Amino acid sequence: MLRLLFGPPAKWAFGVRYWDGTYEGPAGATTTLHLNRAGALRRMLWPPSDLSVAESYLFGDLDIEGDPLPLLTQGVAAAPRLLNPLTLLRLLPRLLTLPTDDAPPRPSRAATHEGGVHSKERDARSIRYHYDVGNDFYALFLDQRMVYSCAYFATGQETLEEAQRLKLDRLCRKLRLKPGEHLLDIGSGWGALSIHAAQHYGVRVTGITLSPAQAELARARAQAAGVANRVTFELRDYRDLPPVPTFDKIVSVGMVEHVGSGKLPAYFQQAYRLLRPGGLFLNHGIVTAMTPGFVRWGFGLIERYLNTHSFIQEYVFPDGELRRIGELTTRAEAAGFELRDVENMREHYALTLLEWIRRLEINHDQVVRLTDEVTYRIWRLYMAGSADSFRAGRIGVVQSLYAKPTASGKAGLPLTRVDVEEGTPWAAD
């Protein structure tokens, strides 16, 4: 079966160790797929979806020894063949003759999808599912500031701590923050950007999050940094903010992925209402580069099933949606914004994820003590798959800068972006 999917073993990017001890694959492979049980391959491939493969790894049917990326890269390349109806018809007899066994029970770990999609209550539950794993857990692989988004590697040689500080400063410079301005940080996380902006740019910041664990730690960190008088963190949905022009600048990092396509118009409209004329809104989010019809068989039924029953949906980001950059820009412009700058940083996110994976693997024993082995595997697989998708260009991470011009057309921006690329970092240090 594996030969039908991947070709001759000598051409595989990984080796396979079967449950009976036999081995197939190229000599010297640095990645080995261990099939631990006789029925592992059948459960991994049937029904054909990334969820079947993922759950086989999460619950111990298989192990991945070494770097998981070569296996994921070749697996993704083979996926269209496995999902093609004609290929499925040819493979089905072989799939049904694969060995079976009595697998141990799999505890339910998937997120519950109750209530209206992207209702305030369901969004709050989805955010808590992902972010309330525990602050101590995230501290085991994030940088010291606990920035849970793409870092910026100016040379590629920076440490994660250095690259995250460069990213925070790049956001502040793109927003052209000035002392005394009021910044809204939508999805403020553990407070790194809000605190950095207050410390080094002299602004007043309101940060909002749906995660109680994040809000609690962010407040403590603002107090420790000596900026609690200028930075407040609220447990609040962005939709609940009074729709009046209160803020000079708005930033949203890693939040738009949770909004949902149907709520995008309201998201950008609310940001527009909250921003004062002449203000700037920087939206930083992951986007898809795949066409909506990536899997278009069966009148779209397969596509819809895969989008709603994927590993990411069930175990990582419930109700998360990646949209194309064109859709985001169209919605923003319809709300009244003027697009002024766009930057795709997907290579930077791949580097960030590789460092997170390295730290997660080093801290495996601590992660398991804090959570369990399944949680470790969820995060290792999720981050490795994301790194592969960023490297291959299937997804990107885009910073889009929008202006709300004044009645006379002033956008509050200089003629060039030299100040972003060459400005003095941390001017208030």
The pLDDT tens digits for 354-407 are: 999 999 999 999 999 999 999 999 999 999 999 999 999 999 999 999 999 999
Task: Report the distance separating Cα 185 and Cα 190, nearest Å.
Answer: 11
Band (147; pLDDT cuts 50, 70, 90): very high
Residues pairing with 291 in the sheet = none
Q: What is the DSSP string of 159-186?
A: -HHHHHHHHHHHHHHHTT--TT-EEEEE
* Mean pLDDT, all residues of the chain: 90
> Could you tell me which of 72, 280, 296 has the C-alpha nearest to residue 177?
280
Mean pLDDT of 134-158: 97
Band (299; pLDDT cuts 50, 70, 90): very low
Q: 150 vs 304, which has greater pLDDT? A: 150
Q: Are 302 and 83 spatial neighbours (Cβ–Cβ below 8 Å)?
A: yes
Q: Which strands, in side-by-side order, build the sheet including 32-35?
A: 23-24, 15-17, 32-35, 62-65
Q: Are 127 and 116 spatial neighbours (Cβ–Cβ below 8 Å)?
A: no
pLDDT at site 429 = 43
**DSSP SS3 for 264:** helix
* Residue 83 CA from chain centroid, whole number: 25
Identity of the residue numbered 2: L
pLDDT at site 108 = 62
pLDDT at site 296 = 43
Q: Which residue has the tokens 């399944």?
A: 374
Domains and CATH numbers, the chain: 2-96 (3.30.1050), 120-422 (3.40.50.150)
Find the helix packing angle between 373-392 and 69-83, rounded to 10°. Answer: 80
pLDDT at site 205 = 99
Residue 426 has pLDDT above 70, yes or no: no
Task: Report the distance separating Cα 366 and Cα 376, nearest Å.
Answer: 10
pLDDT at site 235 = 96
Q: Are 144 and 159 spatial neighbours (Cβ–Cβ below 8 Å)?
A: no
Residues above pLDDT 90, as percent of the chain: 72
Mean pLDDT of 11-40: 96
Task: Report the distance separating Cα 57 and Cα 63, nearest Å.
Answer: 6
Q: Are 50 and 310 spatial neighbours (Cβ–Cβ below 8 Å)?
A: yes
Band (306; pLDDT cuts 50, 70, 90): very low
The pLDDT tens digits for 213-272 are: 999 999 999 999 999 999 999 999 999 999 999 999 999 999 999 998 999 999 999 999
Q: 335 vs 77, which has greater pLDDT? A: 335
Band (102; pLDDT cuts 50, 70, 90): confident
Structure tokens at 32: 């080995």
Task: Report the distance separating Cα 106 and Cα 128, nearest Å.
Answer: 23
Q: 92 vs 64, which has greater pLDDT? A: 64
Find the helix packing angle between 325-334 and 264-274, rounded to 10°. Answer: 50
The answer to whether the bond into 47 is cis (omega within 30° of 0) is: yes
Alpha helices in 97-238 (DSSP H): 120-131, 135-139, 160-174, 192-201, 212-225
The answer to whether the bond into 48 is cis (omega within 30° of 0) is: no
Least confident of 257-261, 302-306, 315-319: 302-306
Least confident of 16-25, 188-197, 285-294: 285-294
* Residue 317 CA from chain centroid, whole number: 8
Q: Which residue has the tokens 């305030």?
A: 120
Residues pairing with 232 in the sheet = 206
Task: Report the distance separating Cα 357 and Cα 52, nearest Å.
Answer: 22
In this structure, the number of other CB atoms found within 10 A of the CB of residue 257 comes to 17
The pLDDT tens digits for 272-295 are: 999 999 999 999 999 998 754 444
Q: 164 vs 291, which has greater pLDDT? A: 164
Mean pLDDT of 101-112: 67
